[in-house]
Structure 1
Amino acid sequence: MQHIMCIMLHMIDGSQADRRPMRATRKALGRSQTRGNHFIGGSLLRAEQIFVHGHIRAGRPDDKKQLLLSKIVDAVTKIASVERRSVWVYISEIPALQMIEYGHELPLPGQEEHWRENLPQADREYLLSLG
């Protein structure tokens, strides 16, 4: 499942027109549940399902979050060869000031460029090297 998640996130990020190095602020964990080892509504799961839990920095407009959800479902169904009804996706927003990546508090939405410019040079070069 982790391999599927890596491919899925690459597919989603790779389709973005804006590929500045802040894509790492999008995280997802996936787990495939098989019949009989998970409960939904108090009943044992009767079919295999894939659950994706994503954490994103708060501040995106609702239409962007809906697009992200849709792309995640599309990627999972394609990669895992499952029906859409087998995929569950949840996105949790975390305020930027409650997130640290690469050793630095994340910027508030709209302040990414200023944040990048003010990183220590070695950290900025490392971050930019990631693509």
Structure 2
Amino acid sequence: MATYTVNYAGFSLTTHQRFTVAKAITKIHADITGAEAYFAQVIFKQLDLHDCFIGGVLLDEPHLFLSGQIRNGRSEQMKKQLLVELEVALQGASGLAGHQIWAYIDEITPGQMVEYGQILPAVGDDSIWFSTLPAGIQKKLNYLNS
């Protein structure tokens, strides 16, 4: 239900740092939204510093750009809290300063999303949706959630 893409340029993230960031994003998303952890996926992409521009000018220092796509239906306060906590976690894991981390949340109507082979439910209908999944998928998701 939530896909977080971490694009970063001008520095490297070790496997351990990527793991730390992925776990932090997943926990923050689950804690704030109430969604199960198995709904959060995190994708990393390292960019060449020379492929990134701000204001038409080539980046001159490392940056990290987080783009999160979440289900529509969360409060403004929840989305703000999500952004603040994500930014703090990214600072801690990457060692970058706040001005080097940019984060965005985009909302998508649940009926326009497919995961685990099923159209996603509206916020609050997760347990009903889960009960319609095949037993093998339920087992996998319970494992991911543990």
TM-score class, shorter-chain normalisation, is 0.7 to 0.9
How many pairs were matched up?
Answer: 131
Match of 2:69 in 1: 55
Contact 1:53–1:90 under 8 Å retained in 2: yes
Query: Is 1:8 equivalent to 2:21 in the alignment?
Result: yes
1:6-26 Cα shifts (integer Å, max 9, x gaps) = 422312433555897733433
TM-score, scaled to structure 2: 0.73
Q: CA deviation at 1:57?
A: 1.5
Distance 1:90 1:24 in 2: 21
Instruction: Give structure 1 stretches of 5+ with no counterpart.
Output: none
State how 1:31-42 maps to structure 2 within 5 Å.
Answer: 31=45, 36-42=50-56
- Alignment CA distance shift 1:103-1:76 (3 Å): same
Distance 1:84 1:33 in 2: 19
Match of 1:93 in 2: 107
Q: In angstroms, what is the RMSD of aligned CA positions?
A: 2.7
Contact 2:65–2:103 under 8 Å retained in 1: yes
Task: Supply the AA of the counterpart residue of 1:61.
Answer: S
Query: Is 1:129 equivalent to 2:143 in the alignment?
Result: yes
- Alignment CA distance shift 1:18-1:51 (3 Å): closer
Match of 1:79 in 2: 93
Task: Supply the AA of the counterpart residue of 1:98.
Answer: Q
TM-score, scaled to structure 1: 0.80
SS in structure 2 at match of 1:55: strand
Task: Supply the AA of the counterpart residue of 1:43.
Answer: V
Distance 1:71 1:46 in 2: 26
- Alignment CA distance shift 1:33-1:77 (3 Å): farther
Instruction: Give structure 2 stretches of 5+ with no counterpart.
Output: 1-12
Contact 1:25–1:57 under 8 Å retained in 2: no
1:32-70 Cα shifts (integer Å, max 9, x gaps) = 666544211122223221111111122111111111111
Task: Supply the AA of the counterpart residue of 1:101.
Answer: E
Query: Is 1:114 equivalent to 2:114 in the alignment?
Result: no
- Alignment CA distance shift 1:127-1:20 (3 Å): farther
Task: Supply the AA of the counterpart residue of 1:126.
Answer: K
Task: Supply the AA of the counterpart residue of 2:131.
Answer: E
